Amino acid sequence: MCMHFDATVPRQCREDGAEEVIEKERLNFCDWFVPSESAFDPRRKIEADQAQVALDALFDATTDSTSAQGGSQSEADKLFK
């Protein structure tokens, strides 16, 4: 949610002086934090949700068809156990 956040750079921050945040799930503080106006885009969230639903439907359909093909999925699972 910070305007300096960039997943493609080291430490995921474009500010050179910022410390790396190791535990992102815990409370942390950064002197360089500036809220980004584009941190939450409802349109992008809707598109991401639709894509996830389509992806889930694709893999659910694939799982059903492999079990209908004589258990080929369970045969493949046996190879890795």
- Residue 78's pLDDT is what? 77
Task: Look up residue 41 and give its two tokens.
Answer: 């885009």
- Residue 66's pLDDT is what? 47
* Residues 22 and 57 sit within 8 Å (Cβ to Cβ): no
**Domain spans in the chain, listed from the N-terminal domain onward:** 1-39, 40-81
- Residue 61's pLDDT is what? 62
Question: 42-68 vs 72-79: helix axis angle to the nearest 10?
Answer: 100
- Residue 53's pLDDT is what? 93
- Residue 52's pLDDT is what? 92
Amino acid letter for position 38:
S
- Residue 24's pLDDT is what? 79
pTM higher than 0.75: no
**Mean pLDDT, the chain cut into blocks of 10 residues (81 residues total):** 88 89 86 84 85 89 53 74 71
